[in-house]
Amino acid sequence: MSPDSFRNVWTIAKRELTGYFNSPVAYVFIVIFLLLNGFFTFMLGGFFERGEANLNSFFTWHPWLYLFLVPAAGMRLWAEERRVGTLELLLTMPIAPWEAIVGKFAACWAFLALALALTFPVVFTVGFLGAPDFGTILAGYVGSLLLAGAYLAVTVMTSALTRNQVISFILSVVICFFLILCGWEPVTNLLVRWAPDWFVNTVAAFSVMPHFAGFQRGVVDLRDLVFFGSVMVFSLFSTSVILRSLRGA
Amino acid sequence: MITVENLVKEFGPKKAVNNVTFSVQRGEILGFLGPNGAGKSTTMRMITGFFPPTSGRVAVGGHDLAEDPIAAKKLIGYLPESAPCYSDMTVAGFLGFAAEMRGLRGAARDAAIEKAVGLCFLRDVLHQSVDTLSKGYRHRTCFAQSILHDPDVLVLDEPTDGLDPNQKHEVRQLIKRMGEKKAIIFSTHILEEVEAVCSRAIIIDRGTVVANGTPAELKARSEVAGSVSLRVQGVAVDVVRSKLGGLMVAGRVHANATGPSVTARIFPRDKSVNGELAKAVAELTAKEAWHFDELHTEEGRLDEVFRAITLPDTVQAKEA
Ligand SMILES: Nc1ncnc2c1ncn2[C@@H]1O[C@H](COP(=O)(O)OP(=O)(O)O)[C@@H](O)[C@H]1O
Ligand SMILES: [Mg+2]
Whether chain A has a CB inside 8 Å of the CB on B149: the answer is no
Neighbours of A202 (CB within 10 A): 12
Residue B37 Cα, ligand 2 centroid: separation in angstroms? 7
Choose which residue among B7, B20, B42 to substitute to test ligand 1 binding: the one with the highest number of ligand atoms within 8 A of its C-beta. Answer: B42
Inside any domain, residue B49: yes
Whether chain A has a CB inside 8 Å of the CB on B65: the answer is no
Q: How long is chain B?
A: 320
Inside any domain, residue B307: no
Nearest protein CA to atom 2 of ligand 1, as residue: B11
Residue A203: helix, strand or coil by DSSP?
helix
Q: Are residues B134 and B277 in the same domain?
A: no
Contacting residues of A for B103, CB less than 8 Å apart:
4, 7, 94
DSSP class of residue B90?
B
Inside any domain, residue B200: yes
Q: Is there a contact between B40 and B205 (Cβ–Cβ < 8 Å)?
A: no
Inside any domain, residue B314: no
Contacting residues of A for B51, CB less than 8 Å apart:
247-249
- Portion 66-125 of A in contact with B at CB < 8 A: 84-86, 88-89, 91-96
| Domain coverage including residue A197 | 3-248
Q: Please report, for the domain that includes residue B262, its CATH number.
A: 3.30.70.3100
- What CA–CA distance (Å, rounded) separates A16 from A25? 13
For B74, nearest residue in chain A (alpha carbons):
A94
Q: What is the pLDDT of residues A5-46, one digit of tens each?
A: 899 999 999 999 988 888 888 999 999 999 999 888 887 777
Q: Are residues B81 and B202 in the same domain?
A: yes
- What CA–CA distance (Å, rounded) separates B120 from B104? 19
Pairing of strands B29-33, B183-188: parallel
Contacting residues of A for B45, CB less than 8 Å apart:
88
How many Å lie between the alpha carbon of A73 and the closest alpha carbon of chain B? 15
pTM of the model: 0.86
Q: Are residues B118 and B201 in the same domain?
A: yes
Minimal Cβ distance to A92: which of B73, B87, B142: B73
- What CA–CA distance (Å, rounded) separates B188 from B71? 28
Instruction: Give the number of domains in chain B.
Output: 2
How many Å lie between the alpha carbon of B49 and the closest alpha carbon of chain A? 6
Q: Mind listing the pLDDT tens digit of every residue in chain B (320 residues)?
A: 899 999 999 998 899 999 999 999 999 999 999 888 899 999 999 999 999 999 999 999 999 999 999 999 999 999 999 899 998 899 999 999 999 999 999 999 999 999 999 988 899 999 999 999 998 899 999 999 999 999 999 999 999 887 888 888 888 999 999 999 999 999 988 888 888 899 999 999 989 998 888 887 777 777 777 788 888 888 888 888 888 778 877 778 888 888 788 888 888 877 666 577 888 888 888 888 888 888 888 776 777 777 777 765 554 444 44
Q: Is there a contact between B247 and B280 (Cβ–Cβ < 8 Å)?
A: yes
The complex's ipTM works out to 0.89
Q: Are residues B143 and B238 in the same domain?
A: no
- What CA–CA distance (Å, rounded) separates A188 from A185? 5
- What CA–CA distance (Å, rounded) separates B20 from B135? 32
- What CA–CA distance (Å, rounded) separates B236 from B247? 18
Minimal Cβ distance to A249: which of B11, B74, B85: B11
Choose which residue among B7, B10, B11, B185 to substitute to test ligand 1 binding: the one with the highest number of ligand atoms within 8 A of its C-beta. Answer: B11
Q: What is the DSSP string of A109-122?
A: HHHHHHHHHTTHHH
Residue A58 Cα, ligand 2 centroid: separation in angstroms? 54
Inside any domain, residue B20: yes
Inside any domain, residue B319: no
Q: Please report, for the domain that includes residue B91, its CATH number.
A: 3.40.50.300
Inside any domain, residue B244: yes
Nearest protein CA to atom 5 of ligand 1, as residue: B11
Q: Are residues B195 and B250 in the same domain?
A: no
| Domain coverage including residue B34 | 2-219
Q: How far is CA A174 from CA A67, A164, A232, B56, B195, in A?
A: 9, 16, 17, 41, 56
